[in-house]
Chain A
Amino acid sequence: MEHSIVVESLKKIYRTAERDTGILPAVKSLLRPSFTEVTAVDGISFALGQGEMVGFIGPNGAGKTTTLKMLSGLLFPTSGNILAAGFKPWERKPSYLKRIGFLMGNKSQLTWDNTIGDSFFILKEIYGVNDLEYKRRLEELTGLLELESLLNRLARTLSLGERARCELASVLIHNPDILYLDEPTLGLDVSMQLRLREFIREYNRKYGTTVIITSHYMSDIVSLCPRVILINKGKLSYDGALSGLGDKVAPFRLIKFRLPASQLGGAEMPMPEQAALEAELIDSLDSERTYRVRKEHILPFAAYLLEKSITDLTIEDPPMEAVIDEVYRKGIADMPHDETEQVLQASAKPDGRLA
């Protein structure tokens, strides 16, 4: 697969001012300011193929947005290499900037006192899109994102959902090859989230645009991204299929069942060697019980339950939110990066430098 983005040992260290609280330290810091270094991104490597859609996940402050900013050229890396669409982003060459779109969750491309139509036209001119192509794209975006009624309205008069749709359209006017989406559905209601997700999926399928999404809404990631990259404390903790993340982090299943009527009101049904099977009762409501059981213990546990005349036995994967919560709280230990390493080696020049 042709690589759209190759990142190698990327590192970003911020130098930030710090001082103790109080007046004296404040005065002292005027004369002798002290600084501390914060490692926001700590040597991450990965590669994305053309047309891939990847979710960047991680807790607050993990380094997701910093990585996106380095990929887009807004931040200069402390060390490491990036090659995106054949460019080094930090050089910020216009030919690179014309090939990417960066939707920043907290920053707007729209001009407050201009109509949406004017804002789009200005972007069209800045990116040098020809009239015919612009007309075609505007029609398409207007149709897909239902913007028809918004084109003549001032940006400042739009609701949050309307603005989000317009912001998304604004980064697509020039049909970028790579799309960086930083919290694209932030603050939107469920219906609007679904519509934007559907649009992003369709857009990626139609144009083969490489998409990197960061989102704290797991539904965004689950519904859009076959692959996730998990960053925690600046380090890459996981790179692979979303389903694999659950197996890696939470190698357990949820067993749900109903107790037989004879058990209700009496003593709780004894569980077989519960400690040995590492089964944990996590929910109990009337006759319903939910146990968390390690995968390798599912069969003996289920077999025991079936002998006890329980009903409605189901075995489920834990919800993705629970998996992610587990990751954020505990991290992932000794995650191998074999896949990433292989990709990087394949894209390296004979001298070892990235192509």
Chain B
Amino acid sequence: MKADFIPLNLRGGMALVRKSLFSFTASRGFFWTLAVSWMMAPLILMFVWVAAAGNGTIGGLGKSRFISYYLCLMLVNQLTYPTSHWTIGDNIRLGTLSTWLMRPLPIIYEAVASDMALKVVCMPLVLILTAVLAVFLGFGTGIDPGLMPVFIPVLLLACVLRFILAYTLSLSAMWTQKTDSLLSVNDILVFLLAGQAAPTGLLPGILRTASEYLPFRYMLGFPVEIVTGMLTNRQILTGLLVQTIWLFGIFVVQRSVYRRGIKRFTAAGG
């Protein structure tokens, strides 16, 4: 299976974004509800930490820092959270993948296009809601525009990292048919170690160490920590290095899983 040298098909990719966009727009109510539900966990956790901090600080973070952190996290979470991996398994199991395989472009295009389209559909609502929350709750700490040149590329890398890991896990449906439980484990680890349950700096002992070395923090918490000014330059550089290594490593694994998975799928029939 020589899928390695397939040239980019940007026209096809953009057409798939358009296709998904039209589909999602037709069901926008459903997706907006989803987007709001994804904001709930950070919002609740923000209130928990704000209440816990009271008028003092926890790990150096006061009430206003927690509000800033979680409002940023809400946005970054929406931008980095992929959803296509939840449906790829179904497409493999139900044989829809056959239709994708008949097209002259790799199946990852479908997944990328679906996620891009979903962000276009959901982000306006998420931005409005976050802005309203920021006004009502008082956005505590200003964001340093000087950090944007670092934040934006790290955010993009976080998007790719979170997507590529979830996508790779979803490809395991080529062997297991059902991937929901595996994807749920991934989501739980993101919740715990990526800075949702708590900023990773507040995690205790081994969890904190794990969050520094595992990929999950670099999918979500790391860009938030950068933009809210929680990291030193050295910490940013170290984080960027770990993020890049994970991205490269998972990308290599994804290529291998894809090749083997397609070979298995085309051996067994769709």
B234 sits at the interface (CB 8 A): no
A93 B2 Cβ-Cβ under 8 A: yes
Partner of A74, one of B14, B19, B101, B263: B101
- Interface set, chain A 43-99, CB cutoff 8 A to B: 66, 69, 72-76, 90-95, 97-98
A91-B2, A97-B104, A98-B104 known; A76 and B12 CB under 8 Å? Answer: no
Contacts of B1 in A (CB 8 A): 76, 90-92
| B residues lining the A interface (CB < 8 Å) | 1-3, 6-7, 9, 11-12, 14-16, 18-19, 22-23, 26-27, 95-96, 98-99, 101-105, 263, 266-270
B23 A112 Cβ-Cβ under 8 A: yes
Can you offer 27 A-B residue contacts whose CB atoms are under 8 A? A14-B268, A15-B268, A72-B102, A74-B269, A76-B267, A90-B1, A90-B266, A92-B3, A92-B101, A94-B9, A94-B105, A95-B104, A97-B102, A97-B103, A104-B99, A107-B95, A107-B96, A107-B99, A112-B23, A113-B22, A114-B19, A119-B19, A122-B19, A126-B9, A126-B12, A126-B15, A128-B9
The residue on B at minimum CB distance from A72 is B102
Contacts of B18 in A (CB 8 A): 118, 122
CA distance in complex: A140, B105 (Å): 26
CA distance in complex: A93, B22 (Å): 29
A219 to chain B, nearest CB (A): 27
Contacts of B105 in A (CB 8 A): 94, 126
| A residues lining the B interface (CB < 8 Å) | 14-15, 66, 69, 72-76, 90-95, 97-98, 102, 104, 107-109, 111-115, 118-119, 121-122, 124-128, 154
A318 to chain B, nearest CB (A): 36
Contacts of A66 in B (CB 8 A): 269
B266 A74 Cβ-Cβ under 8 A: yes
Most B CB contacts (10 A, CB to CB) among A112, A126, A154 go to: A126
The residue on B at minimum CB distance from A129 is B11
A72-B102, A74-B98, A126-B105 known; A113 and B27 CB under 8 Å? Answer: yes
A114 B23 Cβ-Cβ under 8 A: yes
A14 B269 Cβ-Cβ under 8 A: yes
Contacts of A75 in B (CB 8 A): 266-267, 269
B19 A111 Cβ-Cβ under 8 A: yes
A125 B11 Cβ-Cβ under 8 A: yes
Most B CB contacts (10 A, CB to CB) among A76, A90, A95 go to: A76
B172 to chain A, nearest CB (A): 18
B99 A125 Cβ-Cβ under 8 A: no
CA distance in complex: A107, B100 (Å): 11
A72-B102, A125-B12 known; A118 and B19 CB under 8 Å? Answer: yes
For the complex of A and B, 10 pairs with smallest distance between CB atoms? A125-B15, A94-B104, A126-B12, A113-B23, A97-B104, A113-B26, A76-B266, A122-B15, A125-B11, A122-B19
Contacts of B14 in A (CB 8 A): 125
A111 B99 Cβ-Cβ under 8 A: no
The residue on B at minimum CB distance from A128 is B11
A104-B98, A128-B11 known; A74 and B3 CB under 8 Å? Answer: no
The residue on A at minimum CB distance from B6 is A94
The residue on A at minimum CB distance from B3 is A92
The residue on B at minimum CB distance from A124 is B15
A92-B3, A122-B18, A128-B9 known; A111 and B266 CB under 8 Å? Answer: no
Most A CB contacts (10 A, CB to CB) among B9, B19, B105 go to: B19
CA distance in complex: A125, B268 (Å): 30
CA distance in complex: A126, B23 (Å): 17
CA distance in complex: A119, B22 (Å): 10
CA distance in complex: A69, B102 (Å): 10
Contacts of B6 in A (CB 8 A): 94
Contacts of A15 in B (CB 8 A): 268
A323 to chain B, nearest CB (A): 30
Contacts of B103 in A (CB 8 A): 97, 126-127
B15 A94 Cβ-Cβ under 8 A: no
Most A CB contacts (10 A, CB to CB) among B1, B14, B266 go to: B266
